[in-house]
């Protein structure tokens, strides 16, 4: 795209969030390097957005709607990681380096369709969206694998946020994928060709329940890595089984067996719980057991665990009762809509920026 994001023009990018069905945890680097990881995941119609616009003044301005924050930096000001907008600072450090962008004042506006701590990979999707906006503006030739790899490096290496490999690739490629992890930058994304009516059927017989924000993902992931590296046989067996279940779940979806798919998710959730004590809590367990008691087939918490969204497969005729009960228990329930597309960029008028309300 050849548009320049100056004056009344803004470049926008969006990347989808994801639900991880099976294999989550086998994408952690220590496991990948010894055994190879495998994850089945799908992106959903919730997105992270980045809007990029050139400013006349020599400043870098970041507006985060999710955190109700506006931060400004000088062009030559060192962007120090201090726990505030660190991922954005990492993006600005890398993407402005050695390019014409370094001499330009910029405004970066950020927003996601999920609350912080959702477990839907929103942080990674936001980084992918920011990279997409800069890539389009700079006319840089980056393929999707390069974008996902750069997003991984920014999040995991530059900022040091613990996590696996799957989120960046899901957000960049989009759709329903079986993703193979062979090494840090040796990843193969296998898109699944599933008849649209089967995806519609899965959407109709599933739901998302927000169990509450998780702020424990780093701790959970770090504990999983420690347990694996110290040779905990229970954790290793669970990870092996989860990788196997990713293949079974893929087969069930390709054959249109939604009930079997739900049962596999239940098995994966039982295995995932064995990898860390912090994966679940009494509130999550109660929500899940009540959903199953009222007819849900199976499900699991998306992401590292400890909170966030739970994806549940539930027969359509049982959904009203399940939704009512989960609502009584304090969960927020939403329908599932899958998103076939990954990272997208476009340009448009900057009127949303022009009329943006300054946050004190």
360 inside domain? no
In the chain, which residue ranges form alpha helices assigned H by DSSP?
29-35, 86-96, 122-138, 144-152, 166-173, 196-204, 217-229, 233-254, 258-273, 282-293, 319-328, 351-354
Residues 21 and 129 in one domain: yes
226 inside domain? yes
Q: Which residues contact 73 (CB under 8 A, 6 or more apart)?
A: 59, 60, 62, 79, 92
Please state whether beta strands 59-64 and 105-112 pair in parallel, antiparallel, or not at all (unpaired): parallel
Residue with the larger pLDDT of the pair 282 and 228 = 282
Residues 125 and 211 in one domain: no
Residues 279 and 330 in one domain: yes
3-class SS shares of the chain: helix, strand, coil, % to 5: 40, 25, 35
Residues 208 and 266 in one domain: yes
Model confidence, pTM: 0.92
What angle, rounded to 10 degrees, do the helices at 319-328 and 282-293 form? 150
- Token couple for 132: 């997409």
Residues 137 and 203 in one domain: no
Mean pLDDT for all residues in the chain: 91
**Residues labelled catalytic:** 167
Residues 40 and 180 in one domain: yes
Residues 296 and 349 in one domain: no
Q: What is the pLDDT of residue 339?
A: 98
Q: What is the pLDDT of residue 98?
A: 57
- How many domains are contained in the chain? 2
Could you tell me if 65 and 114 are in contact, meaning their C-beta atoms sit under 8 angstroms apart? no
Averaged pLDDT for residues 59-88: 90
Q: What is the pLDDT of residue 358?
A: 37
pLDDT tens digit sequence for 296-335: 999 999 987 888 999 999 999 999 999 999 999 999 999 9
The CATH number covering residue 166 comes to: 3.30.230.10
Residues 96 and 139 in one domain: yes
Residues 118 and 227 in one domain: no
Note down the domain range covering 166: 9-192+340-354
Q: What is the pLDDT of residue 359?
A: 32
Averaged pLDDT for residues 72-99: 88
Residues 217 and 292 in one domain: yes
Residues 186 and 217 in one domain: no
Q: How far apart are CA 109 and CA 132, in angstroms?
A: 13
Q: How far apart are CA 288 and CA 247, in angstroms?
A: 24
Distances (CA, A) of 117 to 113, 215, 218, 265: 12, 6, 11, 21
Residue 355 binned pLDDT confidence (cut-offs 50, 70, 90): very low
Residues 37 and 64 in one domain: yes
2 inside domain? no
């Amino acid at each position: 795209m050849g548009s320049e994001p100056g004056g009344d023009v803004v470049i926008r990018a969006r990347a989808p969030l994801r639900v991880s069905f099976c294999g989550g945890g086998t994408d952690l680097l220590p496991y990948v390097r010894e055994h190879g990881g495998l994850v089945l995941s799908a992106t959903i119609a919730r997105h992270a957005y980045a809007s990029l616009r050139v400013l006349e003044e020599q400043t870098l301005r970041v507006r985060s709607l999710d955190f109700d924050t506006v931060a400004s930096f000088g062009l030559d000001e060192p962007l120090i990681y201090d726990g505030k907008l660190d991922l954005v600072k990492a993006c600005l450090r890398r993407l402005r380096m050695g390019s014409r962008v370094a001499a330009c004042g910029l405004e970066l506006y950020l927003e996601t369709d999920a609350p912080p701590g959702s477990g839907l990979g929103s942080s990674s999707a936001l980084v992918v969206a920011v990279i997409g906006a800069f890539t389009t503006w700079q006319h840089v030739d980056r393929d999707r694998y390069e974008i996902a790899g750069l997003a991984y490096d920014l999040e995991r290496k530059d900022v040091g946020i613990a996590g696996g490999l799957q989120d960046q690739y899901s957000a960049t490629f989009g759709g329903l994928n079986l993703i193979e992890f062979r090494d840090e930058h040796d990843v193969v994304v296998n898109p699944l060709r599933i008849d649209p009516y089967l995806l519609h059927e899965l959407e109709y017989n599933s739901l998302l329940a927000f169990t509450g924000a998780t702020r424990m993902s780093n701790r959970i992931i770090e504990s999983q890595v420690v347990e694996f590296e110290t040779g905990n046989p229970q954790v290793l067996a669970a990870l092996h089984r989860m990788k196997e279940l990713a293949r079974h779940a893929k087969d069930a979806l390709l054959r249109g067996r939604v009930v079997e798919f739900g049962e596999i998710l239940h098995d994966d959730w039982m295995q995932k719980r064995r990898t860390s004590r912090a994966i679940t809590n009494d509130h999550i367990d109660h929500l899940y057991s009540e959903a199953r008691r009222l007819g849900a087939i199976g499900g699991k918490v998306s992401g590292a665990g400890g909170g966030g969204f739970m994806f549940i497969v539930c027969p359509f005729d049982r959904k009203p009762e399940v939704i009512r009960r989960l609502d009584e228990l304090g969960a927020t329930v939403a329908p599932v809509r899958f998103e076939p597309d990954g990272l997208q960029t476009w340009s448009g008028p900057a009127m949303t920026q022009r009329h943006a309300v300054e946050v004190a």
